[in-house]
Structure 1
Amino acid sequence: MKKTLLFIFSILGTATFAQEHFSGISTSRRVGLLNAGINPAELANLKGKYEVNVFNFSANVANNKMTFGDLLGGNDNFEEMLFAGSEPLNMRADVEILGPAFAFKVEKWAFGISSSAKIKASLVDVNTTLGNAVTNGGIDNVSEVYDILASENQRVTGTSWGEIGLSIAREVYNTEEHRITAGATFNFLFPGTYANMGVSKFEGTIENNFGDVTLTDAHAELNFAYSGSLAGDFSESDNFTEFFAGGLNGFSTDIGVNYQWKAVDSTKYRINAGLAIRNLGSMTFKDDNNESTNYELDIQGNDALNLNQFEDAESIQDVEDVLLTSGYLNISPSEKDFRVKLPAILSGYADVNVYGNWYATAYIQQRMNEDNDNDQIAVQNIISLTPRFSTGFFEAYTPLANNEVSGFTAGIGFRLGGFFLGSGSALSAMIGDTNQADAYMGFRIGF
C-alpha cells in the first residue's frame, strides 16, 4: 500500500505540480482555444479567423499536508508526513494534455474541434490514523491503541480518459459598447482506465503492539471498482496512459455565455466576463476485467484483522484480495460495467482593463457534486486573482489563488506570440513553503 499512496503523490515524475490548469493564460486577452476550454462562448472572440493548437501540457498536484520544502529537504518519509496530524488527508493529482485542435470564425459564428487526454488521481478525506496504520505498520516501535470514527467516505481513486470536443459559438448581441456571445462544447469521451477504493461509515479500534498492527471491533461499508490496467498495478505510470483504450463510451457538455464592455480602442475592452457550466456528463467503463463491488466489513468479538498485510499491496485489487481472504467481508451484488461522473463545475471570471495595457482577472471555480461519492471524479474549489500586463505579442502575469485543498498560492507566467510558459505556484514556492506546485507550457498559432 505504500507504493499506491506514494505513487499518487509522485505520479508526475520530475514535473512540477498545481491545481488550476493553465492558470493565468486561460483568461488571456489573446483569446484562443484555451479560453474556450473554460468557456466555449469565448470561441466567438477569436482575434484572427483561424486558430491552430499545436500542443499544450499542464501537470498538477495539491495536498493539505506536505509542502514543497518537504520534497526538496531530503526527507523521503512521504507516508509519515502525509498522515501527520488529525486533519483528514486530501490530495489531487492531475495531468492535462491538449493535443491537435483547430478553430475558425465565419461572420458571427465560430467552430472548433479539439483533442485532449486527462489523468486524475485523488485521496479524499483519508483518516490519518487509519492511513498511517495501513501504510506504515510498525514504523513506531511502541504500543498504541486508537479508536476511530469516520463517517465520511474515504477514497483512493485514479482514472484516465481521452476527449474529442466539437465546439460552436455565436455572437448574439453587438452594439458600439457591448457584445454578448454564447457557446457550447460537446465532448465525446473515451474511458481509459479506472480504480476506486471507498471506505465509508468506518468505526473500529486499531492497536499497534510494537509493530504488529491489528484492527478489531470494526464496521465499514466498502466499494472496490476497477477497469483496465489500473486493476493490476496502481504504481506504474504507464498504467495511467491508456487514454482511449475503452472506445467511445461517454458524453459531456460545456455551456457558457460571455459579455464584453468595449473600449474605444477596438483591440481592447473595459471588461470581459463569462460564466460557464462544464463537464456535465459521465462515461461508462466496459473493459473485460471490469468489477464494481460493494462490501460490508464486520469484525466482532476477539477477531482481529492484521493490517501489516497491506504494506506491499500495489493495486486496489490487491487490497480487496487481502480483505476477501480474511473472511470479514459480506458481499453485495456486483456490477460488470459501471458509470463514472465527470467533475462538473460552475466557473465565472471577469477580466478588467485597469489602465493602459494593465489588466486584472478574477476567477472562481465551484464544483457541483460531492468528491466523496464513489462514482465521482474529484476536483477542488478555487478563487483566484491575476494581475497582468498584456500587449498583442507579449504578456506577463501573476496568478494569486486560494485553493480548497492546498490553500494560498502565487505563480508567474508569460506569453510570446503563441508560445506560453507558466506556473500557478512558482512564486509561493520561492518565498516560502507551499502545499502545491505546478507547471504548464504550450504553443498555438492564430492567423
Structure 2
Amino acid sequence: MKKLFLFAVLSVNLFSFSQEHFAGLSTSSRIGIIGADLNPAELANMHHKFEINGFGTSINVSNNKISVKDLSSNTNLERKLFSGSEPVNLSFNAVILGPGFAIKIQKWAFAITSKSILKFDLIDIDTKLGDAISNGTLNSLAGANTIASTKNQRLNGIAYSEIGLSAARTIFSSSNQKISAGASVKLLFPGSYANLGLDKFNGTVTNTGGQVYLNNTTANLNIAYSGNLANGFSNISDYTKSLFGSLNGYAVDFGINYQLKGDADSKNNYKVNFGMALKNMGSMTFKNDSNVNTNYNLQIQSTVANPFGLNLNQFENVDNLQEIETILKNKGYLTVVDSKSQIKIKLPALFSAYADVKIIPKVFVSGYIQQKLSNDSDNDQIANPNIFTITPRVNLGFFEAFIPFTNSSISGFNTGFGFRLGGFYLGSGSAITAIATNSKQIDAYIGFRTAFL
C-alpha cells in the first residue's frame, strides 16, 4: 500500500504541472466548444458557423499538504504528506479533449465532442494512519497512537471516456438582450476503476521493535476494482491502457445563458455574459467478469499467532487492492457484509455560474463559481472540489491573455497565466503562485481549435 501513497507523492513531484481545467480560457468571450463544455447554452453564442476541436490536454495536481517549494528542497515528501492533524486530500486528474465539431444554424447550434478523464484521489486520509503505512519502516512512530475517524477515508482511481451530443437555441433576442438555453447528453465509456473506503475507523497503531502494528481496530471497509486498475493504480500506464471501455452509462448537462448586448459590429458583442448550468447528472456501470465490489466489517484484535495485531510493514510493496484484500482475508480480519459483481459510479454533479463583464473595449473581467452537489465520502462517488475564480482578460481578437485568480476547497488560493493565439492556447491556473509563493497546486493546459465562416 506504500506504493499507492507514493504514487500520490509522485503525482505532485513528477508532473509538476485545481481542479478547474482550462482556467481562464473557459469563460473567454471567444465562444466555442470549450465554453460549451462549461455551459451547453454557450453554443448559441458561437461567432462562427463551424468550429473544429483538434486537441486539448489539461493536467492538474492539487493537495493540502505538499507545496511547490517542498519539491525543490530536501523535504521527505511522504513525511510531509502525512504531517499535522488535518486529513490529507490530494487529487491528480487529467482531461484529454479529443476531436469535436460544432455548427451554428440560425438560432440553433449543435456539437459532438469527445473527452477522456483520468483521476486519482486521496480523500480525508488520517495522517497517523497514512504515516504508519507509508513510513512505518522508517520508524516515524513512537509508542501507541489511537486513531478515531468519523470520515470515510478513500483511495480512488478511475479512467473513462465520454462522447457528448449537445444542442442550444436562442429563445429570445432583441436589440440589446439575448437569452439562450442548451443541453448535452454524454455517452459514458467506463474503462477501469478502483476504490478503497475505510469508514468510521477506530484503532491503535504501535511501533514495536521497528515494526508497525494495527490493533484493537474496527471499520467499515469497501474494496472495489474493475479493469486494469484491479492489477494496480500506482502507475500512469494503469490508467492510459483503458481509457475507452464499452458504452455503459450516460449523463446530462443543462444550461441557460443571458447576454446584455453591446456593439453589434464587434464579435465580442456583449456588455455582460451570464450563465448557469447543472452538470454531470448521471452515472456509469463497470461490467466485467473479474469485477469485485465488496463491503466488509474489518476487525483486528490480538491473537496467539499475531499478539500485536496486523503488521503494517507487510503492505510496503503492495500496489493493488487485490493484494490488500488477500492479506486481510488470510489473517481472518474481514467479514463480508455484501458483495456485487457490478460497480455503479456516480459522476460529480455540480452547479456552476459565471458572469463575464466588459469593463472597457477589449478588457473583460469574469467570475466563476463551482459548487459540488454530491458527497465525496460516498464510495460510489467521483470526487470534485468547490471552486471560485476571478479572471481579468484582454481580448484583441486574434490574441487574448488572461490571469485567473482561483480559490479551491483542496489547495486554497492560486493564480496563473494563459494566452490564446488564434486557435492555439496555453496556460496554467497556478503558474504564478507556484513560482512566487508556497502554492499547493500545479497545473497546465495546451490545445488547438479552429473556427470558420
- Report TM bin, short chain: over 0.9
Give, as a single letter, the amino acid of the residue that structure 1 aligns with 2:216.
D
User: 1:44 aligns to what SS in structure 2?
Assistant: helix
Partner of 1:212: 211
Counterpart Cα distance in 2 of 1:103 and 1:265:
23
Deviation at 1:217, TM superposition (A): 1.1
Alpha carbons 1:9, 1:93 under 8 Å: kept: no
Residue 115 of structure 2 is aligned to residue 110 of structure 1: no
1:238 paired residue number = 237
**Amino-acid identity (%):** 48
- 1-side partners of 2:340 and 2:245: how far apart? 17
Letter in 1 for 2:182: G
TM-score by length of structure 2 reads 0.96
Query: Counterparts of 1:342 and 1:316 in 2: how far apart (Å)?
Result: 22
Q: Hey, what's the Cα distance between the residues in 2 that align with 1:98 and 1:87?
A: 35
User: Shift in Å at residue 7 of structure 1?
Assistant: 1.4
* 1:12 shift after superposition: 7.8
Q: Give the secondary structure class of the aligned counterpart of 2:136.
A: coil
Match of 1:127 in 2: 126
Pairing 1:352–2:361 present: no
For 1:16 and 1:305, locate their aligned partners in 2 and report how far apart those are by CA, in whole Å: 36
- SS of corresponding position for 1:293: strand
Stretches of structure 1 that go unaligned for 5 or more consecutive residues are none
In the alignment, structure 1 residue 259 sits paired with structure 2 residue 258: yes
1:340 aligns with 2:345: yes
Distance 1:348 1:409, change over 3 A: same
Q: For residues 275 and 300 of structure 2, what CA distance do their matches in structure 1 show?
A: 53
Instruction: Describe the shift of the 1:27–1:7 C-alpha distance in structure 2 as closer, same or farther (beyond 3 A).
Output: same
User: Quick one: which amino acid aligns to residue 286 of structure 1?
Assistant: K
Match in the other structure for 1:424:
429
Note if 1:399 corresponds to 2:400. Answer: no
CA contact (8 A) 2:65 2:81 kept: yes
Structure 1 pair 277–205 and aligned structure 2 pair: CA distance change class (3 A): same
Aligned to 1:378: 383
1:125 match: secondary structure: strand
Q: CA deviation at 1:142?
A: 6.0
Are 2:331 and 1:326 aligned? Answer: yes
Partner amino acid for 1:60? Answer: N
Q: Deviations over 1:243-301 (max 9, x none)?
A: 45430000000110011000134422110010001110000001221000011011235
- The structural deviation recorded for 1:70 is 0.9
Taking the aligned partners of 1:426 and 1:79, their CA distance within structure 2 comes to: 24
CA 284–12 in structure 1, closer or farther in 2 if over 3 Å, else same:
farther
| Aligned position for 2:285 | 284
> By how many angstroms is 1:211 displaced?
1.9
CA distance in 1, matches of 2:229, 2:415: 34
SS of equivalent to 1:10: helix
Q: Report the RMSD for the aligned CA atoms in angstroms.
A: 1.4
Q: How many matched pairs?
A: 446
Pair 1:12–1:249, CA change in 2 (3 A): farther
- For 2:327, what is the secondary structure of its paired residue? helix
Task: Give the superposition deviation at 1:13.
Answer: 7.7
How many Å separate the matches in 2 of 1:170 and 1:119?
32
Which has the higher mean CA deviation after the structures are superposed, 302-311 or 340-349?
302-311
- Counterpart amino acid of residue 273 in structure 2: N
1:305 Cα shift? 1.1
Cα offset, 1:399, TM superposition:
0.2
- 1:23 aligns with 23
Structure 2 residue 40 is matched with structure 1 residue 36: no
Q: CA separation in 1, counterparts of 2:155 and 2:54?
A: 34
Whole-angstrom distance in 1 between the partners of 2:12 and 2:88: 19
Q: Hey, what's the Cα distance between the residues in 1 that align with 2:189 and 2:9?
A: 25
Measured at CA, do residues 141 and 300 of structure 1 come closer, stay the same or move farther in structure 2, by a change above 3 Å?
A: closer
**Which amino acid is the alignment partner of residue 330 of structure 1?**
T
Structure-2 change in CA distance of 1:413 and 1:120 (3 Å): same
Correspondence list, 1:78-93, <5 A: 78-93=77-92
Q: Which runs of 4+ in 1 moved over 6 A?
A: none
User: 1:364 & 1:266 partners in 2: Cα distance?
Assistant: 30
User: Are the counterparts in 2 of residues 252 and 280 from structure 1 also a CA contact under 8 Å?
Assistant: yes
What is the SS of the residue equivalent to 2:254? strand
Q: Which amino acid aligns with 2:36?
A: A
* SS class of match (1:240): helix
Give, as a single letter, the amino acid of the residue that structure 2 aligns with 1:52: I
Kindly provide the amino acid, as one letter, of the partner of residue 392 in structure 1: G
Show structure 2 runs of 5+ residues with no match.
Answer: none
Q: How many Å separate the matches in 2 of 1:363 and 1:104? A: 26
1:271 aligned residue: 272
Aligned to 1:200: 199
SS at match of 1:7: helix
Which moved further from structure 2: 223-232 or 428-437?
428-437
1:16–1:439 CA contact under 8 A, matched in 2: no
**Quick one: distance in 2 between partners of 1:141 and 1:331?**
33
Distance in 2 separating the partners of 1:275 and 1:340: 25
Distance in 2 between residues matched to 1:88 and 1:12, nearest whole Å: 17
SS of alignment partner, residue 186 of structure 2: strand
**Is 2:99 the counterpart of 1:94?**
no
Given that 2:141 and 2:206 are in contact with CA atoms closer than 8 Å, whether structure 1 keeps it comes out as no
Q: Give 1:331 deviation, angstroms.
A: 1.1
Tell me the distance in 2 between the aligned counterparts of 1:140 and 1:333. Answer: 37
Supply the distance in 1 between the matched residues of 2:155 and 2:81 (Cα, whole angstroms).
14
Are 2:369 and 1:368 equivalent residues in the alignment?
no
Range that drifts further, 320-329 or 79-88: 320-329
| Aligned positions of 1:175-186 closer than 5 A | 175-186=174-185
Q: Give the counterpart letter for 1:233 in structure 2.
A: G
Distance 1:176 1:81 in 2: 58
| 8 Å Cα contact 1:16-1:59 kept in structure 2 | no
Instruction: Give 1:78 deviation, angstroms.
Output: 2.2
